[in-house]
A and B are shown apart, each in its own frame.
Chain A
Amino acid sequence: MTDHGVTIGSVAAALLQLVLLAAGAPYLIGMMRQVRARLEGRVGAGIGQPWRDLRKQLRKEPMRPDGTSWVFAGAPRVLLASTVLVAVVAPLLSTVSPLAGAADIFAVVSLLLLGTVALAVAGVDTGTAFGGMGASRAMTVAALAEPTILLAGFALSSRVGSSNLADIVAGTLVMPATVLSPASLLAAVAFAVVVVAETGRLPVDNPATHLELTMIHEAMVLEYAGPDLALVELAAGMRLTVLLGLGASLFLPWGIATSAAPLSLLGAAAVLVAKVAALGAILAAFEVFVAKWRLFRVPELLAGSFLFGLLAVSASFFLA
């Protein structure tokens, strides 16, 4: 068991983690675009471009498309709030958490889904065909990805007897061999597919596309402009960063601080940045070599990952 409680150290760790994720997320997106650009033979805009975009969008005039309700304006705030909450409670830097009551794997998954749901509802609220289409597709993907991530979480948490993320990570740190257990490996595969699907990366969704009929995420947020769009983009970037960080914590937990000592936190921060950057670069490089799948082949991918999740849970029971 790890100790939970509100101490100065744990609060500092959580804040450091939040700042790191919020500031680093646009750089991660920029870095991934840069990797793709270089591999495709382009120069690229540099890794700072997403931050420059955000700054520009934030200063624009806020807009409200005619006929939309409070849901449209509220959704980006709910999306960002749920993402920030996950960014605070997930054990990416250290296993001491000031908010142990919310660091539950099911709570974290539900918070992420809450963000997806908020954006989908807002997509329908615009009343355009594209908004509805994006929302419908996003909910289809989420409805199939959600069970998978719950199963993966279940497989990991039934091993340590707790669904608290910090306990799961701490349990893996104590017994490193469990990372190579069948349950853990199967869960890792399922989790990877879910990360790709939930964050709208290739081959599920193309983050660089603006061809209407193929979009998922971009179709949903088509009507957003200015500060609202900045919030959506920042939240989307942070979701990707948090999910990559969570994957690193759950399946490659080395380097995570088990105390709130300043030096170990700084070390953990460096390790986290390195791990997330490496995962992001791998994901971006992978995207260069795959094309977007037909929308109706995506469920096959997700059903496959659901099967992996189920196998992971079964493995954790039978090979216990």
Chain B
Amino acid sequence: MTVIAAGLLIVALAAAAGALGGACAPARIRALLAGLLTALSGAGGITAGVAALSGQSWSMRLPHLLPLGSAELSVDPLSGAFLVIIGAVAVAAGVYSVGYTAPGGSHPTDDIEPAHETVPDAGGAASRTCQATLPLFVASMLLVPAAASVTTLLLTWELMALSSLVLVLADHRSRGSVRDAALWYAGMTHAGLAAILVGLVLFAGGTGGESFVSLREGADTLSPGLRSAVFVLTFLGFGSKAGMVPLHVWLPRAHAESPSHVSALMSAAMVNLGVYGVVRVAFDLLGGGPRWWGVLVLAFGCLSATYGVLQATVATDLKRLLGYSTSENVGLMLIGIGAAGIFAADGNRPLAGLLLAAAVLHAANHAAFKALLFLGAGSVLRATGLRDLDRLGGLAARMPATTAMFGFAALAAAALPPGNGFVSEWLLLQGLIHSLTLGGTPSVIVAVSMPLAVAVVALTAGLGAAAFVKAFAVGFLARPRSDAAASASEGPWPMRAAMASMLLVCLTLGLAPALAGAPLTRILAMLPTVRDGAPLAGSGVTLHLAGIAGSMSPLLIAAGLLGVAAVVVALVRSVGARRPRRVALVWGCGGTRLDPRMEYTATSFAEPLMRVFDDVLRPEHDVTVTPYAESRYLVESVQFRQRVPDRVEARIYPPLLAAAAWWGDRSRAVANGSVHRYLAYGFFGFVAVLIVVGFTA
């Protein structure tokens, strides 16, 4: 038995045992059992993935397992990368869930004043259903990249969607918004599934086989029109799962409303599978395509990155902010993939390889820091019952470990050194820079699209920094802005342990990215239009780009920062007065009695940027002035409300939903409830199919 097979066997067995334990075990040990077995399942995924990335491969065919065809599994380096990413997030989320679902946390409800008024309980995530579903969700996610036939892929994909839907619904009893979010999620994920299904069925129909091997062999025989149809359909389907704008509407809702370890799994692991699907179908199964495919992906990437970061900048709900930032990061990955597609179509392999490697590395980096951010947000939520940044604050003294770890993850998410997000954005920029010197005379498409892509990456870098300064500084520092925040304390230790493991992954990826060089090369080697030599090389300290003048050493930067800071501290000690720090009153320009209400909130922090991007975001203001009864010139109270509606959603979706409702109304005339009539439909429908088959066969 190979290592990969053993790893996948662990995935399946641990998940089955975890589901059983979650469903049947007594409440006391349920969380422990389900959480640890979920983590074990994830560890199996890491094992299989690492083996695949180190060059092993494995495939298996179970002929009669599935009703419509055989179950086929196969693990290659590309699957391996995503197995490792998902497995690592699953380990952290599993361990975290043990603490998160323990009794004693505050969970928000529909009440106006959340937290302390409600009875502290373990929340919906501690229910039998959710505990049993968590391992199944992880296992189905781990099986998606291992699937090697259309039927297997679709089945695991749907299992993943359904199990995550159950988890999103965890708190549906206490909050109406959960039901709303789940409805959006269910609708979007099934629309996406339909697109993928049609695309892959067309593909399989054209090539005469549904296993990935026969798809790969037959891809060249398809007509260009059919190839493009397959690509566009699967791209839209996978893109909706990845949270690509304008198909992102489910994402900020579902990620905000689900239990936090589930948010982490969805945002850091599941979303990446959309990216996996795009790479798998476009670069591997279809074997690359014309240039406009790349332009399409690049355009959607630019849109997602810009819109996602703008919404994140003005968001005041911590988990919504993180959700929009996921759309932004998926946008960056799609920019890499799209640019790689353009250069691959031009035959410029070194650049295509570099950009695709940057996209895959960014998927890993994003998974690490986003998992940590969501877990941190979950700890805050559990301690305070709050997601609203305007009411948080003061956590640095009350939850020091969570604050420090969230702070580092925020640094990484803002793409600043020494965080790991910086490394992959640097790689992406390197790929775009060299489009001029390595590409010969740039074609018009390259000359138009690359500067725009660079502008988008640059804009996300700046606005992302503002968004995460807001999330960290307003959410965790200064004085608590509510009683709930003032009485926060650290949760059970498994939560901190899980966050620390993700922090370790962030640090490793951030300081020694050269470790990813060999695995990335193996991934690129299996893609026909991209493969060419090693994109990354390095001694572990410095990252070199093969064939391209570019090197950077994140470790050197981090060591330099630490070293200089140490020297500065020592110099200040020796030059300055050697006295201990005295705690003094805050000066505040003479304001002696500082009230938390005087502090800047997340809304006020983002106000200047909101004003700058007013035309894009169109915030809705609502000011109510209530005068005293005696005189209308004496104001008793002023209420200010601001909402930033998702404009993409408000513009595109109402007409679509109205059309669907209209269609439903119309069909009521045909479906009047009479069983006779339905039986007649069935009969005539079947006869019609038989006639069509009889004439075409």
Residues of A within 8 A of B (CB): 1, 58-71, 73, 77-78, 80-82, 84-85, 88, 99-102, 104, 106-107, 110-111, 113-114, 117, 120-121, 123-133, 135-137, 139-140, 142-148, 150-151, 154, 157-164, 167, 212, 222-223, 226-227, 230-231, 295-296, 299, 303, 306, 309-310, 313-314, 316-318, 320
User: Does the CB pair B436–A101 fall under 8 Å?
Assistant: no
User: Does the CB pair A58–B572 fall under 8 Å?
Assistant: yes
Closest Cβ of chain B to A174, distance in Å, is: 15
User: Does the CB pair A222–B587 fall under 8 Å?
Assistant: yes
Which of B396, B466, B598 has most chain A Cβ within 10 Å? Answer: B466
Task: A133 to B598: give the CA distance in the assembly, Å.
Answer: 11
Residues of B within 8 A of A (CB): 313, 393-394, 396-397, 403, 407, 411, 414-417, 422, 425-426, 429-430, 432-438, 441-442, 446-447, 450-451, 454-455, 457-459, 461-463, 465-466, 469-470, 472-474, 477-479, 541-542, 548-553, 556-557, 560-562, 564-565, 568-569, 572, 575-577, 579-589, 591, 594, 596, 598-600, 604-609, 611-612
Closest Cβ of chain B to A127, distance in Å, is: 4
**Chain B residues with CB under 8 A of A67:** 394, 478-479, 586
Other-chain residue from A120, A127, A136, A317 in contact with B451 (beta carbon distance below 8 A)? A317
Other-chain residue from A85, A136, A162 in contact with B549 (beta carbon distance below 8 A)? A162
User: Does the CB pair B600–A65 fall under 8 Å?
Assistant: no
Q: A58-B576, A69-B396, A161-B433 are in contact. Are A130 and B589 (CB under 8 A)?
A: yes
Residue of A nearest to B449 (CB): A317
Mind listing 28 A-B residue pairs with CB under 8 Å?
A1-B549, A62-B581, A64-B583, A71-B477, A77-B565, A84-B568, A113-B462, A117-B465, A120-B469, A121-B469, A123-B473, A124-B600, A127-B393, A132-B604, A139-B465, A150-B454, A151-B455, A154-B458, A161-B434, A162-B433, A164-B551, A167-B549, A223-B587, A309-B458, A310-B455, A313-B454, A313-B455, A317-B447
**Chain A residues with CB under 8 A of B561:** 78, 81-82, 85, 111
User: Does the CB pair A104–B581 fall under 8 Å?
Assistant: no
Leading 3 A-B pairs by shortest Cβ distance: A132-B600, A101-B553, A161-B437
A-B contact count (CB 8 A): 298
Which of A128, A161, A316 has most chain B Cβ within 10 Å? Answer: A128
Closest Cβ of chain A to B512, distance in Å, is: 13
Q: A128-B588, A223-B586 are in contact. Are A143 and B564 (CB under 8 A)?
A: no
User: Does the CB pair A157–B433 fall under 8 Å?
Assistant: yes
Other-chain residue from A1, A80, A99, A154 in contact with B433 (beta carbon distance below 8 A)? A154
Task: A160 to B560: give the CA distance in the assembly, Å.
Answer: 27
**Chain A residues with CB under 8 A of B609:** 140, 143
Q: A125-B477, A143-B466 are in contact. Are A316 and B436 (CB under 8 A)?
A: yes
Other-chain residue from A78, A101, A160, A320 in contact with B565 (beta carbon distance below 8 A)? A78
New A-B contacts (6) at CB < 8 Å, excluding given A65-B583, A66-B584: A101-B557, A106-B425, A124-B469, A130-B589, A148-B458, A161-B549
Task: A81 to B355: give the CA distance in the assembly, Å.
Answer: 32
Residue of B nearest to A123 (CB): B473
Task: A58 to B469: give the CA distance in the assembly, Å.
Answer: 29
**Chain A residues with CB under 8 A of B414:** 117
Closest Cβ of chain B to A167, distance in Å, is: 7
Residue of B nearest to A312 (CB): B451
**Chain A residues with CB under 8 A of B582:** 61-64
Closest Cβ of chain B to A54, distance in Å, is: 10
Task: A88 to B497: give the CA distance in the assembly, Å.
Answer: 38
Task: A139 to B465: give the CA distance in the assembly, Å.
Answer: 8
Closest Cβ of chain A to B617, distance in Å, is: 14
Task: A132 to B463: give the CA distance in the assembly, Å.
Answer: 17
Closest Cβ of chain B to A286, distance in Å, is: 25
Task: A224 to B353: give the CA distance in the assembly, Å.
Answer: 49
User: Does the CB pair A129–B585 fall under 8 Å?
Assistant: no
User: Does the CB pair B568–A231 fall under 8 Å?
Assistant: yes
User: Does the CB pair B586–A135 fall under 8 Å?
Assistant: no
User: Does the CB pair A139–B568 fall under 8 Å?
Assistant: no
User: Does the CB pair B599–A117 fall under 8 Å?
Assistant: no
Closest Cβ of chain B to A5, distance in Å, is: 12
User: Does the CB pair A161–B438 fall under 8 Å?
Assistant: yes
Residue of B nearest to A314 (CB): B451
User: Does the CB pair A151–B577 fall under 8 Å?
Assistant: no
**Chain B residues with CB under 8 A of A131:** 478, 600
Other-chain residue from A59, A63, A84 in contact with B576 (beta carbon distance below 8 A)? A59
Task: A123 to B568: give the CA distance in the assembly, Å.
Answer: 21
**Chain A residues with CB under 8 A of B437:** 158-161
User: Does the CB pair B478–A126 fall under 8 Å?
Assistant: yes
**Chain B residues with CB under 8 A of A99:** 556, 560
User: Does the CB pair A140–B466 fall under 8 Å?
Assistant: yes
Other-chain residue from B433, B580, B599, B611 in contact with A129 (beta carbon distance below 8 A)? B599
**Chain A residues with CB under 8 A of B435:** 158
Closest Cβ of chain B to A79, distance in Å, is: 10
Task: A167 to B437: give the CA distance in the assembly, Å.
Answer: 14
Which of A88, A120, A303 has most chain B Cβ within 10 Å? Answer: A120
User: Does the CB pair A102–B560 fall under 8 Å?
Assistant: yes
Task: A137 to B393: give the CA distance in the assembly, Å.
Answer: 20
User: Does the CB pair A142–B466 fall under 8 Å?
Assistant: yes
User: Does the CB pair A64–B612 fall under 8 Å?
Assistant: no
Other-chain residue from B416, B594, B600 in contact with A117 (beta carbon distance below 8 A)? B416
Which of A69, A124, A159, A230 has most chain B Cβ within 10 Å? Answer: A124
User: Does the CB pair A64–B584 fall under 8 Å?
Assistant: yes
Q: A110-B415, A117-B465, A121-B473 are in contact. Are A147 and B586 (CB under 8 A)?
A: no
User: Does the CB pair A163–B594 fall under 8 Å?
Assistant: no
**Chain A residues with CB under 8 A of B565:** 77-78, 80-81
User: Does the CB pair B461–A158 fall under 8 Å?
Assistant: no
**Chain B residues with CB under 8 A of A160:** 437
Task: A78 to B564: give the CA distance in the assembly, Å.
Answer: 9
Closest Cβ of chain A to B556, distance in Å, is: 4
User: Does the CB pair B586–A139 fall under 8 Å?
Assistant: no
Closest Cβ of chain A to B465, distance in Å, is: 6
Task: A72 to B402: give the CA distance in the assembly, Å.
Answer: 17
**Chain A residues with CB under 8 A of B473:** 120-121, 123-125, 135
